Amino acid sequence: MKRAVLYVVIFIVCFSVSLIMGLPVSWVLQQAPTVKGLDIQGAHGSVWQGQASSVRWQRQNLGQVNWDFQWSSLFTGKAEFSVRFGRGSDMNIRGRGLVGYSLSDGLYAENL
């Protein structure tokens, strides 16, 4: 009986992790509260790695945005994404850098 419970717990944990790992960003954006002035179009991929074909902030087209979660940052107490933006921007601005959250410092952006 104890083995059966252990197998069920292991199955539930593995199933939950696989669901989280495969979360499509389009579904997450549908569930998230809307932010006034922010419009994200053509999002595909996962929450962990994906792209949006067009991001507009207060009617300014910021262009295409790509992101990739940096798993190694978890070892330093951070949740960090490598971000590239600006392809197709109305303002002809391009950039890349790191955006994340640190347990000690809160939200941050580096090398943008």
| Interval 46-65: pLDDT, tens | 989 999 999 988 888 888 99
Average pLDDT over residues 27-49: 91
76 within 8 A of 88, measured Cβ to Cβ: no
Residues 6+ apart with CB under 8 A from 84: 65, 66, 67, 94, 95, 96
8 within 8 A of 1, measured Cβ to Cβ: no
Phi/psi of residue 74, nearest 5 degrees? -65, -30
SS3 10: helix
| Predicted confidence (pLDDT) per residue in 66-88, tens digit | 999 999 998 998 999 999 988 88
Token output for 67: 């992101």
Residue with tokens 């790509």: 66
